[in-house]
Structure formats: C-alpha cells, structure tokens
Structure 1
Amino acid sequence: MTITQLKYALAIAEHKNFTKAAEKCFVTQPTLSTQIQKLEDELDILIFDRSKKPIELTDVGRKIVYQARNIVNEADRIQDIVDQQKGFIGGEFRLGIIPTIMPTLLPMFLKNFINKYPKVKLKIEELTTEEIMSRLSDGHLDAAIAATPLESDNIKERVLYYEPFVSYIPNHHRLKDKTTIDASDLDVDEILLLEDGHCFRDGVINLCKTFKDHPEDKFHLESGSIETLIKLADEGMGMTLLPYLHTLDVSTKMEGNLRYFNEPSPAREVSLIYHKSELKMQIIDALHSVISGVVRGAIAFQNVKIISPLPK
C-alpha cells in the first residue's frame, strides 16, 4: 500500500470515474487502474463497485476512503513541516469565498497578495457556506472566507474583520426621512432578502427580532444578487440591507439612500476558516495578514454588535 495508491483512490471517489480521476492525477487511465487493482488485491476487498454508473464506493470502500483521506493529510503535513522550516510560502492553495463577500473583498486583497507571495497559486471558487463546509471536510478546499461563527468541531475560525450592516432605503419608503435607524425600525416583511443558502440572509433574519411573528411564505421576493435587491428596492418593492463593503463603490445617487444604524451597529463577523488538521498554515497565515491589513483601513467602525448567521 502506498500514498500514491491512496491518492488515486481519493480521486476516483471524488470524480466517480477512472478517466477523470487519472486526468486529475496527471497519469494515464491504465496506470491508475493498475494501481487501484493492486491495492484491492493487497487488501483482498473491492473498494469500488465498477458495475455502477457512475462508479460507487462499496461499504468497506467508504471506510477505506475516509481513512485514506486522514493518511494523505498527515503525509502532506510532512511537506508542510519542511516548507515552514525553509520559510517557503508557495504551491497550490484552494480558497472558497461566499457570494456576499467575493465581489467586494477579492479586488481589495488579491493583487496585493499575488505580488507579495508570487509562488502561491491561488485557486478561488465562489461557494455557499454549506458547500464550503462540505469541501473543507472532504479535503477539497484548503481554506475559505465566510461569515462566522459556524460552530463546527472540525473547522477552525480566525476573524478577519467585523462588517456592519447598512440599510438601503429608497425615497418612497416609510424610513426615508430618518438619518440613522435602529434594528427595531425594521419590518422583515419589507426587507428584500437573498435566497436560501446565503448566510447573509440568515443574519438579516436574526437582526429582525419580529421574524418569529412572520411565516416564511410572507417573503414575497428573494434574489441571489445584492445588486438585484438594490434595483428592486429602487422600483418600490421594499428596502434591503447591505454589507458595509458593498456601499463603498455605490454611485452618488445611491449613496443618498444609505442609512447607518445607531451604535452599536449590527455587524457580521467575517473569518478565514480551515480544517482542524491545519495544513498549509504558512499560506493561511499569509492570507490572514494581507486581508486583515487591507480591510482594517476600509472599515473604521469600532462599536458593533455581532449578528450570527446561524438561525437562533
């Protein structure tokens, strides 16, 4: 049994196809098939049910793949130790970012990070929090940026910044004459929300203390885009709440529709999250340093109240 064979098994389990797994591992399909056959012969069991389309793990195969992932992670840790000893910060790094953070945060830090750490090859994906948690657990992501706390025993969280909520109130709305607002001013029936699967939506719902009195079917409109919510608010469909960084590039016309909360300002906690195995920590440390340094100057709010993305 070799580490290479275990990596091949993990690739097949992920892609459910020998050809795709071989491409992922940069070997020929016959080479990969031969190594898996040798592994199965040595263990005297079948890891994969090849009669199924797509290929499926057998019952014992699932247990083997679970253990193989732990073994491969521990083997990768050896390279981590060597890299840290040499002071090397480089290699492939898979980063997930939730949709309500990606468009504003990524342009703020990416160029800076690439210039500072040119040997790191970032592979960035926009994913929901649920997708991120799954991929971190499966070893398909090295780290992610998401709203926290997430309260997972397998995931570690390092806070990057606290991002206040800002109200977007169009001219026709009942709150338009207020210069600042309180959470008690909000009515969840009037708020345009992101669709299910976005943790920012859950934070808004938690902010609206009256939510328990409003059944889900009263949400007459939801969208997957914050920009769409702003346009719909302008058309008289309601108001919405924005993450603070989304307000930095709004037009002068739109800026007049922004209303800040009275202190303590409700805010979300944004963190760099990663698996408890703590692989590639030198890159995680570098990301944390660059991102927190960049955002610190953009968000000047000090007195904030953190609103959890988790429904209470």
Structure 2
Amino acid sequence: MTITQLKYVLAVAEHQNFTKAAQKTFVTQPTLSMQIQKLEDELEIQIFDRSKKPIELTNVGKKIVNQAHKIVNEVERMQDVVDQEKGFIGGEFRLGIIPTIMPTLLPMFLKNFTNRYPKVQLIIEELTTDDIIARITEGHLDAAIAATPLGNEKIKERALYYEPFVAYVPENHRLASEKTIDSKDLDLNDILLLEDGHCFRDGVINLCKASKLHPADTFQLQSGSIETLVKLSNEGLGMTLLPYLHTLEISNEQKGKLRYFNTPSPAREVSIIYSKSELKMQITNALYDVISGVVRGAIAFQDVKIISPVK
C-alpha cells in the first residue's frame, strides 16, 4: 500500500471517473487504474463499483476513502511541519471567498499579499458558504473567507473584521427623508434580497426578523448580485442593504442614497476559516495579518451588533 495509491483513490472518489481522476493527478488512466486495482487486490475488497455510471463507492469503499483522507492529511502535515520549521511561506494555497466579499476585499489585499509572499501560489475561487464548508471538510480548500459564525465543529474560525450593514434607499421611499435609521424600521416586504444560497441574504433576513415590521417571509424581487440590487432600487422597486466595503466604490450620486444605522450598527462578522487539521497555518496566518491590516484602516466603525448569517 502506498500514499500514491491512496491519492489516486481519493481522486476517483471525487471525480467519479477514472479518466478525469488521471488527468487531475497527472498520470495516464491505465497507470491509475492499475494502482487502484493493486490496492483492492491487497485489501481483498472492491473500493469502487465500476458497473455504475458515474462510478460509485462500495460500502467498504466509503470507509476506505474516509481513512485515506486522514492518512493523506497526516502526510501533508509532515511536510507542513518541515516548512514551518524552516520558516518557509510558499507553495500552492487554495482559498475560497464568498460572492458578497470577493469583489471588494480581493482588490484590497491581493497585490499586497503577493508582493510580500511571492513564493505562495494562491488559487482563489468564488464559492457559496455551503460549497466552502464542503470543500474544506473534504480537503479541497486550505482556507476561506466567509461570514461567520457558522457553527461547524469541523471548521475553525478567526475573525478578520466586522462589516456594518448600510441601507441603500431610493427616492420616494418611506425612509428616504430619514438621516439615520434603526433596524426596527426595516420591512422585508420592501427590501430587495440576494438569491437563496447567499449568507448575506440570511444576515439581512435575521436582522429584519428582529423588527416589528415583519409580517411574512415573502419577497418581491431577488437577484444574484449586489450591483443588480442597486440598479433595481434605483428604479424605485425597493430599498436594499449593502456591505459597508461595497459602499466605498459607488458613485457620489449613489452615496446620497445611503442611510447609516444608529449605533450600535448591525454588522456581519467576516472570518478566515480553515480545517481543524490546521495544515499550512503559516500561510493562513500570513493572509490573516495582511487582510486584517488592510481592512482595519477602511472600516472605522467600532460599535457594532453582529448579525449571524446562520438561519
């Protein structure tokens, strides 16, 4: 039994296809198939049901894959120990970022980080919170940036910053004449929301549920992007809520439609999250230092009330 064979098994389990798994592990398909067959012969069991399309794990195969994850993680941890002992900060690092954070945060820290740590190869993906949790627990992401708390026992969270909510109120809206607003003024029936699957949406819903103006969980319009919500709001179709960092880049005309909350301002907690196995922590810590340092100067708010994205 070899570590390479276990990695091949994990690749097939992930892609449910021998050809795709071979491409991802940079070997020929016959080589990968032969090595997995050798492992199955040695263990005297069948890991994959090859009669199914796509290929499926057998019952014992599922147990083998779980154990293979643990073994491969420990092998990677050994290299990680050596890297940390040498003070080496480099290599491939897979980072996930949720859609409502990616457009504003990434330009703020990426150039700074790559200049400071040129040996790190960042592979960044925009993913929903659910996808991030799944990929971290499966070992396909090293870390992620998401709204927290998530309440997942397999994932560690380290708060980066607290980002206030800001209301975007169109002309002729019932709150347009107000200089500042309270969360109790919000009504879900006239708030434009992101589509299901966005944790920022869940945070807004949780904020509105604390309001007396919450007759029902019904929404008039939903969109996949914050930019679209702003455009719809400009058409007089309702107000919306924006993450504070997003408001820094809108036009002066649009800034005139912003309404800030009275203190304590409702906000979301944004954290860097990672597996409890704590692999590649030297890179995770480096990311934390760069991002928290950059954002600290951008968000002046201190008196905030955290709104959890968890339903």
TM-score (norm. length: structure 2): 0.98
Residue 280 (structure 1) shift: 0.6
Using the alignment, how far apart are the partners of 1:88 and 1:230 within structure 2? 44
Other-structure match for 1:297: 297
Other-structure match for 1:35: 35
1:242 aligns with 2:242: yes
Q: SS in structure 2 opposite 1:242? A: strand
Residue 214 (structure 1) shift: 3.1
Using the alignment, how far apart are the partners of 1:207 and 1:276 within structure 2? 30
Using the alignment, how far apart are the partners of 2:207 and 2:110 within structure 1? 31
Paired AA for residue 234 in structure 1: N
Other-structure match for 1:232: 232
TM-score (norm. length: structure 1): 0.98
Q: SS in structure 2 opposite 1:298? A: coil
Using the alignment, how far apart are the partners of 1:275 and 1:49 within structure 2? 30
Using the alignment, how far apart are the partners of 1:73 and 1:13 within structure 2? 16
Other-structure match for 2:215: 214
Using the alignment, how far apart are the partners of 2:263 and 2:72 within structure 1? 48
Q: Note closer, same or farther for the CA distance 1:298–1:54 as it changes in structure 2 (3 Å cut).
A: same
Q: SS in structure 1 opposite 2:160? A: strand
Give a deviation string over 1:87-125, Cα, whole Å, max 9, x none. 111111111100000000000001111111111111111
Q: Note closer, same or farther for the CA distance 1:293–1:203 as it changes in structure 2 (3 Å cut).
A: same
Paired AA for residue 113 in structure 1: F
Give a deviation string over 1:231-289, Cα, whole Å, max 9, x none. 10111110000000000001011010001101010000000000101011011001000
Residue 213 (structure 1) shift: 4.6
Other-structure match for 1:190: 190
Using the alignment, how far apart are the partners of 1:215 and 1:9 within structure 2? 49
Give a deviation string over 1:177-229, Cα, whole Å, max 9, x none. 1111111111111100111100101111111124895333x211111110000
Structure 1 gap segments, 5+ residues each: none
Other-structure match for 1:15: 15
Using the alignment, how far apart are the partners of 2:76 and 2:212 within structure 1? 46
Using the alignment, how far apart are the partners of 2:167 and 2:216 within structure 1? 23
Using the alignment, how far apart are the partners of 2:281 and 2:33 within structure 1? 33
Q: Note closer, same or farther for the CA distance 1:231–1:68 as it changes in structure 2 (3 Å cut).
A: same
1:262 aligns with 2:262: yes
Q: State the superposition RMSD in angstroms.
A: 1.0
Give a deviation string over 1:118-149, Cα, whole Å, max 9, x none. 11111111111011111111111111000000
Native 8 Å contact 2:95 2:143 kept in 1: yes
Paired AA for residue 86 in structure 2: K
Paired AA for residue 238 in structure 1: G
1:119 aligns with 2:119: yes
Using the alignment, how far apart are the partners of 1:211 and 1:83 within structure 2? 54
Using the alignment, how far apart are the partners of 1:245 and 1:135 within structure 2? 26
Native 8 Å contact 1:98 1:145 kept in 2: yes
Q: SS in structure 1 opposite 2:297? A: helix
Q: Note closer, same or farther for the CA distance 1:7–1:211 as it changes in structure 2 (3 Å cut).
A: farther
What is the identity percentage for the equivalent residue pairs of Structure 1 and Structure 2? 75
1:132 aligns with 2:132: yes
Other-structure match for 2:200: 200
Native 8 Å contact 1:16 1:56 kept in 2: yes
Native 8 Å contact 1:233 1:239 kept in 2: yes
Native 8 Å contact 2:163 2:299 kept in 1: yes
Alignment coverage as a number of residue pairs: 310
**Structural mapping, 1:17-166, within 5 Å:** 17-166=17-166
Using the alignment, how far apart are the partners of 2:55 and 2:180 within structure 1? 58
Structure 2 gap segments, 5+ residues each: none
Q: Note closer, same or farther for the CA distance 1:205–1:294 as it changes in structure 2 (3 Å cut).
A: same
Using the alignment, how far apart are the partners of 2:115 and 2:28 within structure 1? 36
Residue 150 (structure 1) shift: 0.3
Using the alignment, how far apart are the partners of 2:299 and 2:202 within structure 1? 22
Native 8 Å contact 1:203 1:310 kept in 2: yes
